[in-house]
Structure 1
Amino acid sequence: MMKIICGVDVSKARLDACIMPGAVSRSFDNDASGIAQLAAFCRQHAAELLVMEATGGLERKAFLLLWESGQPCAIANAARVRLFAEAMGVPEKTDRIDAAMIARFAQVQDLRPTPLPSRAQQRLKALVARLRQVTDDLVVQKQRRSALLEDAEMTASLDEVIALLKRQSRTLEGEIASMIDDDPLWAHLASTFRSVKGVADRTIAWLMADLPEIGIYDNKAIAKLAGLAPIADDSGKRKGKRPVRGGRAGVRSILFLVAAIAARYDQSLGAFRDRAIQQGKAKMVVRIALARKLLVRLNAKARDARAQFANAT
C-alpha cells in the first residue's frame, strides 16, 4: 500500500505543501503559526511522513517544530529531486509542482524519517558553523591587511576587526570544548580521535558537529556521507574514472587538510600516499584517497570507542 506523504517546497516566506496520493495542495507561512497549520494539515490527511528539501537552512525551523509537534519528517537532496522530476517528464518548476515532485520522489525512494538531532547536537552544530564563518572572515581581513598600502587609519580599522574576530574565535572554541568535555560520549570519542597525530580540537569539533554518524555507519556509508566514496562509471569494456561528488563539504575539506598533516607523522598513511604518487595517480586523486583512508581509520576508532563506552555504562 502506498504511503501518504506530504511534500513541502520551502522558501523564505512560504511552505508549499502537497499530499500524495491525491495531490491536495495548500500554502502556509514559514513561521511558527504557519508551521503549526502545516502540522494540522498533515494530521487531517493522515500523512505518515513529511518531506522537504535541504535549502541552505531555510528548512531547519520547520523541520524542528514539525518533529516537536509529532510529525515525522525527512530531508531530501534537492538535486536528486530535480533530476527525478526531469526523468519523470516534468521540466516545469513552480513551488506547487516542486512540492508534488518531492512527495512522489519520497514515495519512489521509500524515504525514512531523518532523525531529530538532540538539542546538544543542534547547539554544537551552530557553534561550529559560526566558528567556520569567523575563521573565514579572519582570513579575508588578514589578506586585506597584508595588501594594504601605508594608511594608518585603514590599518587601525582592520586591526580592530581582526582583534574582534580573534576574540570571537577564542570564545567559540572555548564553548565548543566545554560542550564536548561535558558530554561523556563526546569526551571519549574526542580522546580516541586525538590518538591520531594531526587530529586536533578543530577537526574533532567538525567531525562531532557535521558527521555525528561516525562510528555508527560502516566504512562505505561514512565515506559516501563525506563525499569521499568513488562513483563507478563503467560501461561494457570501458572502465571510466571514478569521481567523487556530493557529501558534506565541510567535513571533506577539513579531512583533506588533516590527512596531509597526519601522513607526515603516520608511517602507514605516508607510505600509502607515496605508493599512490609512484603509481602516477593525479594529485587530487591522491588527496581524496588519503582523506578517505584517514576517515575510515577514524570511523573504526569511533566504532570501537562507542562499543567500549556502551559496555562501560
Structure 2
Amino acid sequence: MKKTICGVDVSKARLDACIEPGQRFASFDNDAAGIAKLAAFCREHAVTLAVMEASGGYERGVFVGLWEEGISCALTNPRSVRRYAEAMGILEKTDRIDSSVIARFAHAKNLAATPLPSEAQQRLKALVTRLRQVTDDLTVQKQRRASMFDNGEMRASIDEVIVLLKRQSLSLEGEIASMIDDDPLWAKLAETWREMKGVAGRTVARLHAELPEIGTVSNKAIAKLAGLAPIANDSGKRRGKRPTRGGRAGVRSILFLVAAIAARYDNSLGEFRDRLLKAGKEKMVVRIALARKLLVRLNAKARDARAAYPNAT
C-alpha cells in the first residue's frame, strides 16, 4: 500500500506543504501555531510521514514540533531532492513546487522516519553549537584587537567583549562537561576516547553532539557520515580519482586537526601518514586518510563501550 506523505518546504516565515498522492496543498506560518495547524492538516489526510529538507536550521523546530504532535518525520538531503527534480524534468523552483517534489522524492526513495533526538541530545548539540560560535567570535575579536596598534579606546572596548566571550566560553564548557559526566554512556565514551593522546574535551563534545551514531554503525558508514569515505568514480576500464563529498563538515574539520596531533604520539598513525607521503600521495589525500583512520578507531572504541550499555540511546 502506498504511503501518504506530506512534503514540507521550510523557510524562515512559511511552511508550504503538499500531500502525495493527491497533491493537496496548504501553507502555514513557521511558528508554534502554524506547526500545530500543519500537524492537524497531516492528521486530517491520514499522513504516515512528513518529510522536509535538512537545510538552514529552520527545519529543526518543525521537525521536533511535528514529532511532539504525533506525526512521524524524516529529514532528507536537499541536493538529492534537487537532482531528483531535474531528473524528472522539473526545472521550475517555487516553494509550492518544492513541497511536491519532496513528497514525490520520499515516495521514490521509500524514506523511513528519522528518529527524534532525546532532549539531552538536543540540548548538548545546542550547547556545543553555541560554544563553537563563541569561540569563533573570540578569535575575530582577538584579531581585531591586534590590528588596533595605537587606539587605546578601541582596544579597551574590544577587551570588554573578549572578557564576556571568555566567561561565556568557560560557562558553556562547564555545562557540556556536566552533561557528559551525568550520562553513564557518554561518560564511558569520553573516558575511552580520551585514552588516545590528542583527543581532548572539545573533540569528545563535538563527537557526542554532531555524530551520535558513532559506535552503532559500521566503519564504512561512519566514515560516510563524516564525509571521509572515498566515492567510486569508475567507468569501463577507467579508474578515476575517488573524491570525498558531503558529510558533516564540523566533525570532519575537527578530525583533521586531532588526527594530525594524534599522529605525533601514536606510532602506527605516524607510520601510516609517512607511508602515504613517501608513496607520493597529495597532502589533502593524506589528511583525509589519517582522519578516516582515526575515526574508525574511535568508532571501534565506541562500539566496545556501548556493549556495556545495550539499552542506552
1:183-229, Cα deviation, whole Å (9 max, x unpaired) = 11100110011111100000000000000000001111111100111
Unpaired runs of at least 5, structure 1: none
Q: C-alpha distance in 1, partners of 2:113/2:310?
A: 25
Q: C-alpha distance in 1, partners of 2:166/2:132?
A: 12
Partner residue in 2 for 1:138: 138
Q: Does 1:60 align with 2:53?
A: no
Q: For residues 27 and 271 of structure 1, do their structure 2 counterparts lie closer, same or farther at Cα, with a shift above 3 Å needed?
A: same
Partner residue in 1 for 2:6: 6
**Alpha-carbon distance, 1:310 to partner:** 3.2
Q: C-alpha distance in 1, partners of 2:292/2:75?
A: 25
Partner residue in 2 for 1:149: 149
Partner residue in 1 for 2:298: 298
Q: C-alpha distance in 2, partners of 1:11/1:215?
A: 34
Q: C-alpha distance in 1, partners of 2:34/2:55?
A: 18
1:20-56, Cα deviation, whole Å (9 max, x unpaired) = 1111111111111111111111111111100001121
Instruction: Give TM-score, length-normalised by structure 2.
Output: 0.98
Q: Does 1:289 align with 2:289?
A: yes
Aligned pairs for 1:248-267 (under 5 A) are: 248-267=248-267
Aligned pairs for 1:99-118 (under 5 A) are: 99-118=99-118
Aligned pairs for 1:24-63 (under 5 A) are: 24-63=24-63
Q: Does 1:200 align with 2:200?
A: yes
Aligned-partner residue type, residue 4 of structure 1: T
SS at match of 1:309: coil
- Which stretches of structure 1, 4 residues or longer, exceed 2 Å deviation after superposition? 308-312
Aligned-partner residue type, residue 103 of structure 1: A
Q: C-alpha distance in 2, partners of 1:216/1:205?
A: 17
SS at match of 2:9: strand
Aligned-partner residue type, residue 269 of structure 1: L
Aligned-partner residue type, residue 149 of structure 2: L
SS at match of 1:212: coil
1:6-26, Cα deviation, whole Å (9 max, x unpaired) = 000001111000001111111
Q: C-alpha distance in 1, partners of 2:8/2:65?
A: 14
Partner residue in 1 for 2:15: 15
Partner residue in 1 for 2:271: 271
Q: C-alpha distance in 2, partners of 1:208/1:201?
A: 11
How many residues align structurally?
A: 312
Q: C-alpha distance in 1, partners of 2:247/2:21?
A: 31
Partner residue in 2 for 1:218: 218
Aligned-partner residue type, residue 7 of structure 1: G
Q: Is the 8 A contact 1:188 1:309 kept in 2?
A: no
1:263-286, Cα deviation, whole Å (9 max, x unpaired) = 000011001100010010001000
Unpaired runs of at least 5, structure 2: none
Q: Is the 8 A contact 1:233 1:241 kept in 2?
A: yes
1:144-173, Cα deviation, whole Å (9 max, x unpaired) = 111222111011111111111111111100
SS at match of 2:242: coil
Partner residue in 2 for 1:162: 162
Q: C-alpha distance in 2, partners of 1:278/1:147?
A: 41
Q: C-alpha distance in 1, partners of 2:21/2:43?
A: 15
Q: C-alpha distance in 1, partners of 2:262/2:52?
A: 39
1:236-278, Cα deviation, whole Å (9 max, x unpaired) = 1111111111110100000000000000000110011000100
**Alpha-carbon distance, 1:311 to partner:** 9.2
Aligned-partner residue type, residue 30 of structure 1: N
Q: Is the 8 A contact 1:5 1:106 kept in 2?
A: yes
Q: Is the 8 A contact 1:190 1:204 kept in 2?
A: yes
Aligned-partner residue type, residue 2 of structure 1: K
